[in-house]
Structure 1
Amino acid sequence: MAVQNILIVSTTGIGDCLWGTPGIRELKNAYPDAQIDLIVKKDWLDLFKNNPHLEKTYPYQNRWYAQILLGLKLLLKPKYTHVYIFHANSDFGRMKKFLKSSPIWNHQGHKWCPDQYNVKSKKRDNSPSIVADLHAIERRIFMLKEIKVELKQPQMELFFSATEKNSFSQYANHIGLKTPFVVCHIGANSVDRLWESKKFYNLANLILNETSFNIVFGGNKKEIKILKALHLPDNDRIFFAFDMSLINYAYLLSRASLLVSNNTGPMHIGYAVNTPTIGIFQHVANGHPDLVGPYKLDKTFFPVVSYLEGNTSVEEVWKKFQAICQATAQGKKLEVLTNK
């Protein structure tokens, strides 16, 4: 079947969606004349609006009436020659009837996808099945190998327009923020992923006392209560970013000298925009942050990980902070490893 128009479905978390960007880029490189459309969670739509590899981007909500409205839009389009479920919850199965019987590939084992297109299934005739210990980026590429697409560069990516750049300039001028600055992202989408407030407080004091960096504390509006628990000192080198749009916050992260973040969406944004990032993985139960965190990073930049009931200390994060500062001062870039 000729590769003409492709639909990518990525409707879960920020990290899940960003892990798909290398696959989208490799698809476009392999088939430059193909039209690639994306269905993405409505909350993350702005992160993909400037992606030059995409023709159309559709916002997704799992409410039944929103699915019907989206489905009607898809029915008005020519049939997709290929549909790839990069990552979706089971509720997306209700959208199947709107895809005009296009082959629907997936790697999650969704029952509403036929076994022949389910790379997790062992029932595929004469075709390899996906193995358990593949990184999320590799899982997406595994499906694309069926149309001869290979992973040449695994770096995630985001694209910005003049609008985001102007918004950052206005924000920085308004509050008096100057470079260099670091960002501390203090929130997470679940309580068990939060680093203790007092530890962010102690880290902030180390940064203020031992470096010349300004500090921006960031998160969404719901996470302001975490900020209040920090009881930060009154200091003209401390700034806040809790009321930005997601794309403007992403651009802020791209301008930071370093990001310290819990294991949550903005951590993945930090890696996607090539900002040296300390990801704090608290209480990792599955033992595989290398499969759900950044992909094959130089060990200098790899996250601070606390396995099982571990509790990441300020000293561990500060040591990583110093190592990254030293590496970047020597001109070392945040790069992926070329060897496994």
Structure 2
Amino acid sequence: MKILLVRNDNIGDLICTTPAIEALRKKYPDAQIDIVVNSYNFLAINKNPFVDKIYVYIKPKHKKNLSDKIKALGGKIKIMSEIFFEKYDAAVVFRSGYSSSAEQFSNISRAKIKIGVKDIKNRDNFTHHIIPNPNEHEVEFCYRCLEPLRIKQGDEKMFFYMPENFKKKYKGYKNYILFHISSRIKENRYSKEKFKAVIDKLDENIIITAEPSDFENAKWLEENSKAKWIKTESLLDLAGLISNVKLFVSLDGGAMHIGPALGVKTIAISGKTNMNKWYPWGYKDLVTQDESKIAGNIEPEIVVEKIKENI
């Protein structure tokens, strides 16, 4: 049996898919299970023991100049050609909203069983439609995508490959709390002043990380609080740090899902995100979210209390 999986969106989304992939492998230990991902989310599936081949393509829209776009398109066409000649038995698109670009891979697979979310314009070719439920977690949704293949949710866990050298690099931070202060969505951001107010109220060793857009805020926090800023060099470098700390506090984003995948207790400071669907898996009770759905409206005292309860 040949099964093609498609998850060509974000890092956190793909991490949330890994428990279902493990369940699929348990059900069909001898099947050929391949997956299509993009260069942006590849690290979330790299070295996953439950998949065979990983098709990785660069999205042309992620490239700026024409020559790079053409090169990326050529790479995508090459992968689609390989999928066409493989001739799969089943194809599963793990997307809770219909995506024509994702369905392209399902269609080219020539699979008799095609599973995905229905196109509201009724133009899809799926043989089995999955109805999204906004009140279920993405992990649970991914299991439901596999129900036509007789898969049920079990005790599977998230998977994220953590190279030992990155983990060893930060072994001295086991008694620290890590704050990741970046989120790309405005409503999910938390001001440096409020982060400082939280840090000042904690009698703990604190380190902070940030994406390049927040380097200035990280520098300010290091200069104006007891927190130490660690300028991680890559996503794996950040994951190595997360894997060592005793508590991870994160704004909503891909990094937030790395904590649970590494077995690290994770507190989420959330804004507009539907946290019934995207809370850190296994840590729903550790979400802090204001009724306004604006992270900046969460008082520092609330975050401090949540941290103290979970140290």
Task: Please give the TM-score of this superposition, normalised by the length of structure 2.
Answer: 0.84
Partner of 2:160: 158
Q: Deviations over 1:268-318 (max 9, x none)?
A: 11122121111011245xxx411222346463xx21111225511111111
Shift of 1:132: 4.8
Would you say the 8 A contact 1:185–1:217 is kept in 2?
Answer: yes
180, 200, 203: which one aligns with 1:185: 180
Would you say the 8 A contact 1:9–1:85 is kept in 2?
Answer: yes
Overall identity of the aligned pairs, in %: 21
Partner of 1:80: 88
Q: Distance in 1 between matches of 2:186 and 2:118?
A: 26
Would you say the 8 A contact 1:257–1:276 is kept in 2?
Answer: yes
Q: Per chain length, whose mean CA-contact separation is higher, i.e. which structure has more relative contact order (CA < 8 Å, sep 6+)? A: 2
Are 2:231 and 1:241 equivalent residues in the alignment?
A: yes
Q: Distance in 1 between matches of 2:247 and 2:222?
A: 22
Q: 3-state SS of the aligned residue for 1:184?
A: strand
Residue ranges of structure 2 left out of the alignment (5+ in a row)? 61-68
Q: Distance in 1 between matches of 2:48 and 2:126?
A: 32
Partner of 1:147: 149
Q: 3-state SS of the aligned residue for 1:75?
A: helix
Task: Please give the TM-score of this superposition, normalised by the length of structure 1.
Answer: 0.77
Partner of 2:211: 220
Partner of 1:199: 194
Q: 3-state SS of the aligned residue for 1:43?
A: coil
Question: How many correspondences in the alignment?
Answer: 295
Shift of 1:94: 4.4
Would you say the 8 A contact 1:22–1:137 is kept in 2?
Answer: yes
Q: Distance in 2 between matches of 1:309 and 1:119?
A: 28
Residue ranges of structure 1 left out of the alignment (5+ in a row)? 121-129, 326-340
Q: Deviations over 1:180-229 (max 9, x none)?
A: 1221100012122101111111222233xx13x2x221132233133245
Q: Distance in 2 between matches of 1:169 and 1:12?
A: 30
Q: 3-state SS of the aligned residue for 1:232?
A: helix
Would you say the 8 A contact 1:51–1:158 is kept in 2?
Answer: yes
Partner of 1:307: 291
Partner of 1:124: none
Would you say the 8 A contact 1:154–1:295 is kept in 2?
Answer: no
Q: 1:297 to 1:230 in 2, by over 3 A?
A: closer
Shift of 1:68: 4.3
Q: Distance in 2 between matches of 1:294 and 1:309?
A: 17
